[in-house]
Amino acid sequence: MKRASISRQRLAALGLLGVPLLTYPLLGLPSGSWGGLPAGYVYLFGVWVGLIALAAVVAEGGGK
């Protein structure tokens, strides 16, 4: 069986990391506001942007 490249493995691990971070129990934890925005929105979009940035770093690295 052919092994997946290291970048594919890292992207899969990143996806598995994102699942628990974006489920209700953790989405429900932030309360109050931060910078005039609801803390839940800041958490949600912060995690989302972080996952996209990490995926871009992994994809651009090319498995080096």
pLDDT value at residue 64: 57
Neighbours of 22 (CB within 10 A): 14
Q: For residue 62, what pLDDT is reported? A: 59
Which pLDDT value is given to residue 3?
Answer: 73
Q: What's the pLDDT score for residue 61? A: 84
pTM of the full predicted structure?
Answer: 0.85
The domain segmentation of the chain, as residue ranges, is 6-61
Which regions of the chain are under pLDDT 50? none
Whether the CA torsion 37, 42, 44, 45 is positive or negative: it is positive
Per-residue model confidence (pLDDT) at position 50: 97
